[in-house]
C-alpha cells in the first residue's frame, strides 16, 4: 500500500515531467516558477478539466492545442485592477513624475501587463501630468489572450466603483468617469489613452532586452518566480533601463538580494521604487 509520502513523490515527478514536456515541446519554461505556485495552478487546472492525474493532463496538453492554450492562460498572472495600491501612484506622482518631466521623450515598459488595467492607470496619470503625448508605453505579456483583452480596453462595470475609489486615493486630478464610456454591463476606456500604447508579446523567462527604457514597471510578477529566475529577470530589467531610470516592483518584491542591488538607490522602500545609479 502506497503511503502519503509515496503519493507526494509521484505527484512531484509528474509535475516535473509536465513542466519539462511543455518546455521541450512548446518552448515555455516554467521550471523556475515558485514550486507552490506551480502546484496550486496545476491542481486548479486538474479540477477544471476533471483529469484523473497529472499524467493524463500531460497527454492532453501535448496533443490538444486548445488544452495547451488553456493551460498557458492558467499559468498567466492576471490578478490586477486599475490604480492598484493607490499609495504607490500617489508617491509616484510626488517623487518620480518631476524627474520624468525633465526628459524630452519617455519610453516606459510595463512588463507582465496582463489585461491592461495597470497600463491605462499609468496612461491616465501621465495624461494628467502632461506627459502622455511625449511617451510611448510598451505593454508586454506572454499571454496573447490577455493582451487581446488589454487592447480592447473593455472592463466589467462592476469594477468601476473600486477603480474610482483607487483613482481618488491615488491623487487623481479629474473625475475618473472622464476616462471611460459606459456601455450596458461594460465600460470602454477612452481611445485617447491607447494612442501611445504598444502591446506586444514578450516572455520574461526566455526573451531578451525589449527596449531602452526610462521607466520599467513590473509589479506583482516576481513573487511567482524562484530566486534564480527573479535574479535573471532583474538583470534583464537592468540591461533595459537607462542610467538614472526608475524600476517599480510590487509591494512584496525587492531587489535587495539580487546581483543588481548595488546599482540602485532606494526611492521608496514601502512602494518598492528604485533608481538606477550605476551602469
Instruction: Name the fold adopted by 86-276.
Output: Rossmann fold (3.40.50)
Name, in order, each residue with C-beta under 8 angstroms of 207's C-beta and a sequence gap of 6 or more.
none
Question: Any idea where the domains of the chain sit in the sequence?
Answer: 4-75, 86-276
Model confidence pLDDT, tens digit, residues 205-262 = 888 887 899 999 999 999 889 889 999 999 999 999 999 999 999 998 999 889 999 9
Q: Which of 129, 130, 131, 149 is nearest to 139 (CA)?
A: 149
Alpha-carbon dihedral sign for residues 226, 232, 235, 241: negative
Residues comprising the chain, all counted:
279
Bridge partners for 248 per DSSP: 217, 273
Residue 2 predicted with pLDDT over 60: no
Model confidence pLDDT, tens digit, residues 119-157 = 999 999 999 999 999 999 999 998 888 999 999 999 999
What's the whole-number average pLDDT of the chain? Answer: 91
pLDDT at position 4 is: 61
pLDDT at position 33 is: 83
Q: Which of 268, 276, 271 is nearest to 245 (CA)?
A: 276
Residue 275 predicted with pLDDT over 60: yes
Higher pLDDT, 191 or 33: 191
Between strands 186-189 and 154-156, the pairing is antiparallel
d(CA 54, CA 77): 21
pLDDT at position 10 is: 81
| E-state strands within the chain | 106-111, 135-141, 154-156, 180-183, 186-189, 197-201, 213-218, 241-249, 264-268, 273-276
d(CA 131, CA 128): 8
Amino acid at each position: 500500500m502506497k503511503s502519503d509520502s509515496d503519493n507526494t513523490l509521484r505527484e512531484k515527478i509528474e509535475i516535473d515531467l509536465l513542466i519539462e514536456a511543455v518546455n521541450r515541446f512548446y518552448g515555455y519554461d516554467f521550471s523556475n516558477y515558485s514550486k507552490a505556485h506551480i502546484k496550486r495552478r496545476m491542481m486548479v487546472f486538474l479540477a477544471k478539466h476533471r483529469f484523473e492525474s497529472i499524467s493524463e493532463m500531460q497527454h492532453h496538453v501535448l496533443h490538444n492545442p486548445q488544452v495547451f492554450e488553456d493551460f498557458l492562460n492558467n499559468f498567466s498572472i492576471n490578478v490586477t485592477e486599475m490604480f492598484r495600491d493607490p499609495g504607490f501612484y500617489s508617491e509616484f506622482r510626488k517623487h518620480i513624475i518631476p524627474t520624468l518631466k525633465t526628459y524630452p521623450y519617455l519610453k516606459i515598459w510595463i512588463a507582465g501587463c496582463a489585461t491592461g488595467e495597470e497600463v491605462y492607470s499609468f496612461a491616465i496619470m501621465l495624461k494628467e501630468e502632461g506627459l502622455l503625448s511625449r511617451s510611448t508605453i510598451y505593454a508586454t505579456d506572454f499571454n496573447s489572450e490577455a493582451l487581446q483583452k488589454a487592447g480592447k480596453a473593455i472592463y466589467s462595470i462592476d469594477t468601476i466603483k473600486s477603480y474610482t475609489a483607487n483613482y481618488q486615493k491615488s491623487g487623481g486630478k479629474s473625475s475618473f468617469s472622464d476616462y471611460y464610456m459606459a456601455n450596458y454591463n461594460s465600460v470602454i476606456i477612452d481611445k485617447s489613452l491607447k494612442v501611445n500604447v504598444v502591446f506586444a508579446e514578450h516572455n520574461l523567462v526566455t526573451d531578451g532586452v525589449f527596449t531602452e527604457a526610462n521607466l520599467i514597471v513590473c509589479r506583482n510578477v516576481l513573487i511567482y518566480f524562484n530566486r534564480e529566475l527573479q535574479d535573471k529577470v532583474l538583470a534583464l530589467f537592468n540591461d533595459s533601463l537607462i542610467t538614472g531610470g526608475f524600476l517599480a516592483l510590487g509591494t512584496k518584491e525587492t531587489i535587495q538580494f539580487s546581483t543588481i542591488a548595488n546599482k540602485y538607490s532606494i526611492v521608496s522602500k514601502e512602494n518598492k521604487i528604485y533608481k538606477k545609479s550605476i551602469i
